[in-house]
Structure 1
């Protein structure tokens, strides 16, 4: 029997990435078809284009068994809430209260749907196929249009009252950095200081145009090291995976950015957390995603796979087997 056909939507602040594929291969996800649409300021237009694309893929490849959505947020993950599957208090213009799951459920009726944050989606991908394979405790960070982080503790995705918003933590300001920040909620939170829009506001140029010796890179790397230090102290992850466009933008490049963040992180922790991973092993402790820019879509296939498994378990009347994510992210009832 062929593996079930899964649909995936990774909704980011700049673009919506879509894929049709399978998640049964232990070595790598298999994408049969992919597309990208601008997020823009109109959920109706953007999600309408996504829905049309999924319907076209279903006509080309056959019935879709389940859909996974990993979205920028904040989002409502409580299946008992009337707002489940919606974006809530986002700074993204036009997207507040956008019913992402509802629009796509209407477009693909009768199939299970898994829904979570974009960073938790990427964390799932890295845990299944990438740099977090075999790890039950890790953090995945993305630095791009926004900054967010997800991950696992005890083999389960991080959820709680809602979901973590690590990119909005407030940090001690570095000497000489008087930038007010760009976050519409918090000003100079981590996202407000170090996201792609923050870089452009600081320098008047997009990150891709900045040379390696621009002073903003030192500010970004050192501020990011402070934030990661907080996560290390609070969550004690076995690995930190840093993705997103900022890590590899401009003339500095990924290798030099990681080297600066690692060095500052080690300095700031000051040997208090005594573990080889945070000393000579720091090069293997804080790493880029092994799946690169595919981490999010890969993990969104896993969300779809888990939703399908939950639906089949419910139909069979069996006791559910806990997935590697919180129950709040799954909707087994079409």
Structure 2
């Protein structure tokens, strides 16, 4: 059996399963401080021995295996988790291989293997929720350079009627600062679930996300774009994206039918934990090859 951890800013999902994506058991643990959360994680895996563990974590994280801080959560604003040695904390308890990547890269891996992008060698997975992040599969591999992608923090053009200053603690009015869940709540004075009937809320959201998708399309040319996260549970956001994206692209590049190209996760809310199982499988294979 393999273990998986989908580490989010509000909750950790831990599961045991196999490389086929089958999940045998899973639990949710609140993300509080490392001492509390990790104690519950370790307790779960001591009850369910596994051969390897894959971690898909909120970030930023250090994914450079040659770095002295590989396996760390780094400059996160999440209280208590900055500079946390995530991989080492697991290895200190379990002498098994550990795979490590971002939560959105894990979700992209899950969706490209078993979900909406199955059979394709490229896709983009974006989550729009408490934050905005994206993972990409390019030519069958997770995209990684100096570090992992941080596509939620690109700069976009502000709507001429939007006077909201932005929520991002680093950049104010980057994409995440203007379009993530906390920005919606602060701008409009209510949580998204209480704004369902306010069409102007979701038109503005689609306006900003369509701008971002234009840039991702022009740079990465993914074969499928998958949008997940709590904000995307508002179905009208998709309609707004479909409305604005052609105007932004202005026929510069051709795209498939947008409702088939920009879609919901095929694995639903299991994309990240399924991808984390695959990270565990990859780590186990790499260990066997040494």
TM-score per shorter chain, which class?
over 0.9
Q: Does 1:74 align with 2:60?
A: yes
What's the CA shift for 1:214? 4.5
Report the RMSD for the aligned CA atoms in angstroms.
1.1
| Residue in structure 2 matching 1:35, options 27, 31, 51 | 27
Q: Bigger radius of gyration, 1 or 2?
A: 1
1:30-76 CA-to-partner distances (Å, cap 9, x unmatched) read 11111011112x11211121111111222xxxxx1110000010100
Q: Deviations over 1:77-135 (max 9, x none)?
A: 11121211111111222211011111111122x21110000000000100110011111
Q: Note the alpha carbon deviations across 1:247-300, whole angstroms, 9 max, x for none.
A: 11xxxx32x22111112112211111034x1xxx11111001000100000000
Residues 147-187 of structure 1: CA distance to partner in whole angstroms, max 9, x if unpaired?
A: 00011111111100111100000101111111111111011
The answer to whether residue 235 in structure 2 is matched with residue 298 in structure 1 is no
8 Å CA contact retained: 1:123, 1:139 = yes
Matches of residues 53-202 of structure 1 in structure 2 within 5 Å?
Answer: 53-58=44-49, 64-108=50-94, 110-202=95-187
Kindly indicate whether the alpha-carbon contact (under 8 Å) linking 2:121 and 2:139 is maintained by their aligned counterparts in 1.
yes
For residues 76 and 118 of structure 2, the distance between their equivalents in structure 1, rounded to whole angstroms, comes to 31
Assess if the C-alpha contact under 8 Å between 2:202 and 2:240 holds in 1. Answer: no
Partner of 2:84: helix, strand, or coil? Answer: coil
Give 5+ residue unaligned stretches, structure 1.
59-63, 315-334
Check whether the contact 1:151–1:157 (CA below 8 A) recurs between aligned residues.
Answer: yes
Tell me which stretches of 4 or more aligned residues in structure 1 moved more than 2 Å: 211-215
Give yes or no for the alignment of 1:22 onto 2:13.
no
- Write out per-residue CA displacement over residues 190-247 of structure 1, whole angstroms, 9 at most, x where no aligned residue: 1111111111111222112213224221111110100011100111111111011101
Unaligned runs of 5+ in 2: none
Instruction: State the distance in 2 between where 1:37 and 1:308 align.
Output: 25
Structure 2 CA distance for aligned equivalents of residues 39 and 181 of structure 1: 25
TM normalised by structure 2 equals 0.97
1:274 to 240, 246, 254: 254
Tell whether the 8 Å contact from 1:47 to 1:100 is kept in structure 2 after alignment.
Answer: no
Aligned to 2:196: 211
